A and B are shown apart, each in its own frame.
Chain A
Amino acid sequence: MSQAATTEQPVGTPEPVLSVGDLAISYTSRGRRTAAVQGVAFSVGPGETVALVGESGSGKTTTAHAIVGLLPGSAHRDAGAIVLGETDIAGWSQRRLATIRGRHVGFVPQDPGVALNPVQRIGVQVAEPLRIHGLAGRAEADARALEILAQAGLDDPEAVALRYPHELSGGQRQRVLIGIALACDPQLIIADEPTSALDVTVQKVVLDHLQERTREAGASVLLITHDLGVAADRADRIIVMQGGRIVEEGPAARVLEAPEHEYTRRLVAAAPSLQSRRLSATPGTRLPEALSDAVVLELAGIARRYVSRAGGRTREVVAAHDVNLSVRAGRTTALVGASGSGKTTVARIASRLVEPDAGRVLLGGRDITTATGADLRELRRGLQLVYQDPFGSLDPRMRILDTVAAPLRAYRVGDRASRARTAAGLLERVQLPADLHRRLPAELSGGQRQRVAIARALALNPKVLILDEPVSALDVSVQEQLLQLLTDLQAELGLGYLFITHDLAVVRQIADEVAVMNRGEVVEAGTVADLFEHPHDPYTVELLAAIPGRGIASSAATG
């Protein structure tokens, strides 16, 4: 876990807890066989934390699932040994593997939001592994469950034990899941992207907790992550996977500071970290002659409350309180905050999808707060949205070209042929090849879909784009390409961006000004450089401290 352990525990410790040898796994779908993992070999020593790093499709999750036999029915292990302690469990039946799972290998799943049984009380779910492996009777298991919940750092374990998963926050749920994984004192914990679904600040707390608890228990950890920063902070050794193969392996510090493989170098360079600079437009980008930096979007004194009626009680939530914000042409204002901070509400108010209780929204100097009907419709042309989830924001049955042309159709711009030409031009602008025009969203990658969403947002020549977490769902290398695209488009078209994100690292790459929101209020605002170098508000300081991968910052900067 610690930096010291790296030197004490050289690669290939005599008796590893887990050693995987020459593992090959393929998936069969519609009679076609695709190799997912090939020739993967590595080991995890006692008390060691090993990070398996890679982007989607690298085979890291398949490898992790294969170890405990959690692969879906379409997957097949073609070759390889999986030695746990001294036993090769590679050929074991599901029935036999069940005796290992939970008992000798604990598993922390990816998304705590859906990883707990929604209709079963927390206490029962925590006690379950003890009951399954016959380590405790009913009463004893219940008592142990309370201890586990207490160790998980949850206040009032008795009350938590009686709750249902939906009554806990994401961070609390992940603590419960870590407690479940550790319930039977396993020698090995496999954590499959344990914090990708959580906010940065929560991510830090949960990872600290995982580190602390596994160290106490003396368990080894195999940490699956796409985030090189997380790997750098938490792992003794890093294994980098690409296309189903291991491309590089070594002590964490060495891999990050002196990556040997070309792919690792690219990953390190793409990792958003404290040292990333504001991206500049790609050389050769056509710049408009006169660049004005007039304020194009302004929010003044925005306030909004929500009243929720849950279980007969009325609760008032302040989603926004006296929020002031401005976006300049050709510039990016970032709005940063954790989930529930109110940043999405502000974005919705800015786009007039939600009515503010107080305050004004000015678009290009015009007060649009009270615009309705045809006026509002006309004003909306100047302000377009790009959402976080490129899977949900595109019509799954509409072809790409039609999707991009849809706003033109809605505003009756030109005729059919000219709309198709404009849409094709937009797709070219976001660097999507013409052979994708007739495709459906399901046939595109996440990054390509987000490009389509951007092209669609540009169709009506807006002045302002509201980008709601546009890159959070994407792999780092794709994320970097997309941020570069946004930067180029901004320079070319003089667009103002309101960039909503929970990730401060991204802010540094794309934004000029930044506002930090917490519980509905802007706690700090200013230029990006000021905020990063002299944060004033304790919440900003906390956010900055939570960015993973501070260790790799210096090496990335020189790269």
Chain B
Amino acid sequence: MIRFLFRRAAQGAFVLWAAFTASFVLLFLLPSDPVLTMLGADGQGANVDPVEVAALRTEYGFDQPVWLQYLSRLGAALRGDFGHSMSTGAPVTTEIAAALPATGLLALIAVCLAVVIAAGIAIAATSTSHGWLRRFLLALPPLGVAIPTFWLALVLLQIFSFRLGLLPAFGAEGWTSLVLPAITLALPVSASMAQVFASSLDATWGSPFVQTARAKGARRPRLLTRHVLRNAISPALTVAGVTLGAVLAGSVVTESVYGRPGLGRLAEQAVAAQDIPVVQGIVVLAAAIFVIANLGVDVLQARIDPRLLSGGAR
């Protein structure tokens, strides 16, 4: 187990480094000049004081060779310092820390909601003896995958906020403001989870050990809880780990549409303003969340399936 964790942690560290490097290469080699952008004078060089530009260049280290910039930034990042925002001047870590709780809460609720919806649909569809209900339920996930986040957000706003006036349309005041964004985020994610979980449940129901349990006299509820669920959950967990990325990506659109503060919003603004340190900080954070979530999934799977720890025999 320890060896397994160590190997996974090392892989995670590599992913973080790769995310940092890729974002550095992409962002710092962009053709536009971040300092000019910062001064709000991109493309209108005439109005800018060259001394000021030079001072800023030195301050941000843009006058150094690229590889030196890379190394010093990597070194700083290892100490938890991602530099300062070019728009606000505040440390990147502070900016992110301020935006994280709102998005974290939203994402957590969305993921929980997604798991509940996915499990509900998958279990109901594979347990029912009515063919039509099964077909109806299994038709939902592909639909859910196909719906774009922004469209879903707008439709939900139309119905629940503007037409029915039940829930607030914008802002982050109170619990009610979380409902629509959470649903918007959760639905597409739950759809892919439900698809995978349902087919995994179907396969597990047909496996010989379930027949053995039936031959012991076990009825369906017992078969489901004692035998099928634990064996079927593995693929769904893998998808859950991967879809966390979808939740983060979805938060950009969702927070913009619903006018909520948060990481997605911060990312959107930082990209628009070419605020390179902030964008890079968010990329690395997203990678870290991804790595940690997948590490969590791996540990959970090893707990669920004892075969994974014994060198994969059989």
Q: How far does the Cβ of A136 sit from chain B's closest Cβ, in whole Å?
A: 13
Q: A310 touching B314 by the CB < 8 A rule?
A: no
Q: Which residues of B contact A132 (CB under 8 A)?
A: 216-218, 222
| CB interface residues, B 215-240, toward A, < 8 Å | 215-220, 222, 226-227, 230-231
Select B213's contact among A111, A128, A312, beta carbons within 8 Å. Answer: A128
Does A30 lie at the interface of the complex (its beta carbon under 8 Å from any beta carbon of B)? no
Select from chain A the residue with minimum beta-carbon distance to B227. A117
Stretch at the interface among B73-81, B185-193, B203-211: B203-211
| Residue from the list A94, A167, A180, A308 in contact with B212, Cβ < 8 A | A180
Contacts of A309 in B (CB 8 A): 311
Q: Which residues of A contact B220 (CB under 8 A)?
A: 94
* 0/1 string, A230-247, CB within 8 A of B gives 1: 000000000000000000
Segment at the interface with A among B152-160, B253-261, B267-275, B301-309: B301-309
Q: Chain A's nearest CB lies how many Å from the CB of B209?
A: 5
Bound together, the chains give a CA A107 to CA B215 distance in angstroms of 6
Binds B, one of A96-104, A144-152, A255-263: A96-104
Kindly provide the distance from the CB of A361 to the nearest chain B CB, expressed in whole angstroms: 29
Complex CA distance for A164 and B314, rounded to whole angstroms: 12
- B3, B216, B305, B309: the one within 8 Å of A101 (CB): B216
Residues of A within 8 A of B44 (CB): none
Given contacts A117-B227, A118-B231, A120-B227, A99 and B311 within 8 Å (CB-CB):
no
At the interface, yes or no: A119 with Cβ under 8 Å from chain B? yes
Return B12 CB to nearest CB of chain A, in Å: 21
Q: Which residue of A lies closest to B207 (CB)?
A: A114
Complex contacts, A117 vs chain B, CB 8 Å: 209, 212-213, 226-227, 231
Q: Quick check: A119 and B216 within 8 Å, CB to CB?
A: no
Report if A354 contacts B (CB, 8 A): no
A-B pairs with beta carbons under 8 A, tally: 93
Q: Is the CB of B209 within 8 A of A116?
A: yes
Task: Tell me which residues across on chain B come within 8 A of A545, comparing CB atoms.
Answer: none
Residue of A nearest to B312 (CB): A310
B135 interfacial contact with A, CB 8 Å: no
The answer to whether residues A111 and B208 also contact, given A128-B213, A128-B216, A129-B217 and a CB cut-off of 8 A, is: yes
Chain A residues with CB below 8 A from B215, complex form = 68, 70, 101-102, 106-107, 109, 181
Within 8 Å CB of B304, what residues of A? 119
Q: Please state if A311 and B310 are interface contacts (CB–CB under 8 Å).
A: yes
Q: Does B214 contact A (CB under 8 A)?
A: yes
Q: Please provide the chain A residues from 166 to 186 with a CB less than 8 Å away from any CB of chain B in the complex.
A: 166-167, 177, 180-181
Can you name 7 A-B pairs with beta carbons within 8 Å?
Answer: A98-B214, A109-B212, A114-B207, A117-B209, A120-B227, A166-B310, A310-B310
Closest 3 CB pairs of A and B: A107-B215, A102-B217, A102-B216
With A98-B217, A132-B216, A309-B311 known, 12 other A-B pairs at CB within 8 A are A68-B215, A70-B211, A102-B218, A106-B215, A116-B212, A117-B231, A119-B231, A120-B227, A132-B222, A164-B307, A308-B311, A311-B310
